[in-house]
Amino acid sequence: MANPRAAMLVIGDEILSGRTRDSNMHHLAGELTARGIDLVEARTVPDVHATIRDSVRALSEAHDIVFTSGGIGPTHDDITADAVADAFGAAIDVREDARAILTAHYDARGTELNEARLRMARIPDGAALIENPVSAAPGFILRNVHVMAGVPAIFQAMLASVLPGLTGGAPLMSQSLRIYRGEGDIAGPLRKMATDHPDLSFGSYPFQKDGVHGAQVVVRGTDAGQIADAMTWLSDTFGGDAE
Amino acid sequence: MANPRAAMLVIGDEILSGRTRDSNMHHLAGELTARGIDLVEARTVPDVHATIRDSVRALSEAHDIVFTSGGIGPTHDDITADAVADAFGAAIDVREDARAILTAHYDARGTELNEARLRMARIPDGAALIENPVSAAPGFILRNVHVMAGVPAIFQAMLASVLPGLTGGAPLMSQSLRIYRGEGDIAGPLRKMATDHPDLSFGSYPFQKDGVHGAQVVVRGTDAGQIADAMTWLSDTFGGDAE
């Protein structure tokens, strides 16, 4: 049975302007791969209602699981929750369970739960909350879409609470070998290996370091024995250093 | 007149698996913003012909300019050129101008221009070459799509040669202010500022450092005077440190 297929929607004007470099997608990718869930697409979009709505709808229909990051804070440009609700025709308003969480959090700090902060309690009808152990304001899950914060520490904490509930496939394992030959020299044999071993994938990534150039070959698969055999053949054929 | 709208397609299994963290999109975003070109969407896809083909076609139709990174090396998983040709119904084969460049490069190094390396001379009919001053193998431009390398140093060099030929709009400028108040405290007034100044955009990004929390407010626009006035109002109202 094939692994579940996931997509990520990174939301934020500041990423598309180049001001901020996203780290959530890379983090998500590693966590999913380790659990046998294949991240098959990622999109980065601006804080625009229609764009978020349409992207969420498209990704939700095309893939098994969707994760979004960004746009669930208290300011006017935090519009993700409403856009996700719109994507599925769900009603959205301040919800009592989320309000209670925020009330407890801000009361304990003597901070006013003002109109702006209350926006973070806007949760679509039918959504389940995702706990935010860092700063209280919850994420949520609606249909197959997990809506989470953009701040990396909060995204990672929310993801950690969500992952145990997901059913993964066979974890994808990989091993790699640093080969001190040009990519062009190894490409022919590597292509043959890929054709002969359809259950493995072979990636080749050129490197250059201190005047030495070569290719890092990465063997990926779900069967440790197959991977080990492939690695043995590669190092017998090309030499190089296992990593 | 509105700024030109650009999209990026990041191609690579190794990015979606989490093995490699992409840096090209962030680099492109900064370079485009500085030239008044708006990056409005970015997608990350695997080394799969149909996916690359369909994504290139969709982005090319939806936006003014498209940039792709990855998949133009010599190995079997480098399939971008063929997929891009397919997206536009263009023929593709080893082209003599690209072959000559590679021949000169490899002859000078006493390296064989073997079948694998020759794949890097596959250029679609009608495409213009993009010079690669780092490792010779050229990128190309077909219709409004700029196909470039995934290796960051090569991507950056190729982009640098392409940018002068692009017509940008008014460069987007930004200034930012670190305000030592919670996002929820400033959100109301910030929303009003955004509504009153439709030619500016106001983003708010929470931070926490050494126990101090606050929000970094970024004001973006094309009119330096408007930005300066907004910054003055913000610091008069909230205090904080300009950056």
Tens-place pLDDT, residues B53-82 = 999 999 999 999 999 999 999 998 999 999
Could you tell me how many helices (H) and strands (E) chain A has, helices first? Answer: 9, 12
Q: Is residue B106 scored above 80 in pLDDT?
A: yes
Would you place residue B172 in the very low, low, confident or very high pLDDT band (cuts 50, 70, 90)?
confident
Give chain A's domains with CATH numbers. 5-165 (3.40.980.10), 173-242 (3.30.70)
Nearest CA in chain B to A75: B187
Is B194 at the interface with chain A, CB within 8 A?
A: yes
Residues 87-146 of B with CB under 8 A from A: 111-112, 114-117, 119
Give the 3-state secondary structure of residue B86.
Answer: helix
pLDDT of residue A210: 79
Strands (E), B50-160: 65-69, 92-94, 122-124, 128-130, 139-142, 145-148
B209 pLDDT more than 80: no
Arithmetic mean of pLDDT over chain B: 94
Structure tokens at B122: 């596959």
pLDDT confidence of residue A136: 95
Q: Smallest CA–CA separation between A89 and chain B, in Å?
A: 24
pLDDT category at A213 given cuts 50, 70, 90 is confident
What was the pLDDT predicted at B173? 87
Check CB contact of B26 with chain A, cutoff 8 Å: yes
Which residue of B13, B174, B183 is in closest CB contact with A73? B183
> Where do we find the tokens 């009608």?
B126
Q: Strand locations in A46-121, DSSP E?
A: 65-69, 92-94
pLDDT of B104 over the 90 cut: yes
Instruction: Count Cβ atoms within 10 A of the Cβ of residue B209 and give its class: 0-12 exposed, 13-18 middle, 19 or more buried.
Output: exposed
Nearest to A14 by CA among A78, A83, A84, A66: A78
User: Mean pLDDT, to the nearest integer, of B195-211?
Assistant: 88
Tell whether A174 lies on the interface with B, counting CB pairs under 8 A.
yes
CA–CA gap between residue A170 and residue B164 (Å, rounded) = 48
Q: Do A184 and B74 count as a contact with CB atoms less than 8 A apart?
A: yes
Portion 221-240 of B in contact with A at CB < 8 A = none
Q: How many inter-chain contacts (A to B, CB under 8 Å) are there?
A: 172
Asked if B18 and A41 come within 8 Å (Cβ–Cβ), the reply is no
**Chain A: closest CA distance from residue B23 (Å):** 8
User: A96, A97, A101, A48: which is closest to A76 by C-alpha?
Assistant: A48
Q: Tell me, what's the ipTM?
A: 0.91
- Cβ separation A187–B30 shorter than 8 A: no
- Give per-residue pLDDT as tens, A113-128: 999 999 999 999 999 9
Look-up of token digits 């296992």? A242
The arithmetic mean of pLDDT across residues A17-26, rounded, is: 96
Q: What is the DSSP letter of A76?
A: T
Q: Write out residues 69-88 of B within 8 Å (CB-CB) of A.
A: 73-77
Q: What residues of A are in contact with residue B194 (Cβ under 8 Å)? A: 76-77
Chain B: residue whose CA lies nearest to A59: B43
Identify the residue among A9, A17, A175 best suited for mutation to test binding to B, counting B beta carbons within 10 A and taking the highest: A17
